[in-house]
A and B are shown apart, each in its own frame.
Chain A
Amino acid sequence: MEKNIKFYWKLFLSTFTLSAFTLGGGYVIVPLMRKKFVEELKWIDEEEMLNIVAISQSAPGMIAVNASIMTGYRLAGVLGAIIATFGTVLPPLIIITIIAKFYTAFKENRYINALLLGMRAGVAAVIIDVIIKMSRNVIKTKNSISIGIMIVALIASVILDINAALIIILCGVFGGFYYNIVKKAGEDQ
């Protein structure tokens, strides 16, 4: 990929718009990033995107910022990471600076509340769309271990309410153990 000014501008603009629409917490940026970087720009593949999210979640800090830093680094080294971080941090910085000045008016404004309530429906729809695609990709592999991990992780997160970082670490340990030791031992026999 050619790294010219146009590329860096596109990277900045992509992370900026993604961050500006990340309503409702960290994971919301993941479906948007996937749509932008995997489907639209085709800069990274889905497997790599999932690896990036897993590592971002396991490290301290905000998942949206971490995932941006890592994607930027993957695409264009340290400079890419700096530009992606800048793009991700700028929208909340601008928006909150403005709101901090007159937040009571903002909080009680009927139209702003209506807009946000409406946008939430859009956010939910975007996530549903991406989850359908991603889970279908896991099921398509017909790998019963992967499908099993997906189901167990879902139960652990939704019903048992176990911390996301812990789920990631446990699944990584299990994957390392199963694919490197159990499966290799089976192949050797």
Chain B
Amino acid sequence: MIYLEIFISFIQIGLFSFGGGYAALPLIEVQVLEVHNWLTMGEFADLLTISQMTPGPIAINAATFVGTKVAGLPGAVIATIGCVTPSFIIILTLSYFYFKYKNLSSIQGILKGLRPAVVSLIASAGLSILMLTIFKTEGTSLFNMKLSDINIIAIIMVAISVFILRRFKPDPIKVMIGTGVIGILIYGIF
């Protein structure tokens, strides 16, 4: 039963991917390439490229991509449900206890310690995306950047967007669509 196999595979991916994003990659690789021969290595590379270009968590993208390929649209839906089910159960349980006990002073202490760390984690993720945006080479780290790889247009676009966001407080999605359109004009046509 192919649907059941897909479901069980993606439950495992959803259950064991701690830390999100690329932490799920090795698990997807094991399930899709080694346990089952659902994709070739080339297709797996394509999946990564597509995931980087499209919105959504990489595990959901993989679920949809593999599901579609192996068993069409029902396959995609079942793989996605499988991927989300563990999170759903675990997070609902955690939510129940969190909202019930969050006012206890001992829990408040823990949360007070966590919150500043979350701000830094978001900053860290933001920095990686900023690097990816302003350098032409992929995967540039803070320590081996080359000045010649700087994309001036991107820096100007980021700077103007930050200014507009802070000054006029528009819907961020409008800003993203705006820079997308400018991107087509600058990179696509000229």
Contact = CB atoms under 8 A, between A and B. Distances in A.
B105 to A, nearest CB: 7
Say whether chain A's binding surface is mostly helix, strand, loop, or mixed: helix
A122 B16 CA distance: 32
A60 B117 contact: no
Interface string A120-151: 11111111111110110010000001110111
Given A50-B119, A62-B60, A74-B99, A124 B126 contact: yes
B144 interface: no
A96 B122 contact: no
Interface in B89-147: 90-92, 94-96, 98-99, 102, 105-106, 108-127, 129-130, 132-134, 142
A174 B113 contact: yes
Given A92-B56, A106-B50, A60 B86 contact: yes
Contacts of A157: 120-121, 124
A95 B69 CA distance: 14
Contacts of B17: 60-62
A172 B110 contact: yes
B181 A56 contact: no
Contacts of A132: 166
A138 to B, nearest CB: 5
Contacts, number: 370
Contacts of A65: 57, 60, 84, 87
Contacts of B15: 60-61
A1 to B, nearest CB: 15
A115 B79 CA distance: 29
B88 A154 contact: no
B188 A150 contact: no
B114 A73 contact: no
Given A61-B14, A92-B54, A54 B59 contact: no
- Category for how many chain A residues contact B: 35 or more
B6 interface: no
A185 interface: no
A41 interface: no
Interface of B: 14-22, 24, 46, 49-50, 52-61, 64-65, 68-69, 73, 76-77, 80, 83-84, 86-88, 90-92, 94-96, 98-99, 102, 105-106, 108-127, 129-130, 132-134, 142, 154, 157-158, 161-162, 165-166, 171-173, 175-184, 186-189
Interface of A: 17, 19-28, 30-32, 35, 40, 47, 50-51, 53-57, 59-66, 69-70, 73-74, 78, 81, 85, 89, 91-93, 95-97, 99-101, 103-104, 106-107, 110-132, 134-135, 138, 145-147, 149-151, 153-154, 156-159, 163-165, 167-168, 171-176, 178-180
Given A51-B114, A65-B84, A92-B60, 13 more contacts: A19-B56, A54-B118, A62-B83, A70-B94, A93-B77, A96-B76, A97-B64, A112-B53, A114-B187, A117-B183, A118-B182, A121-B133, A124-B130
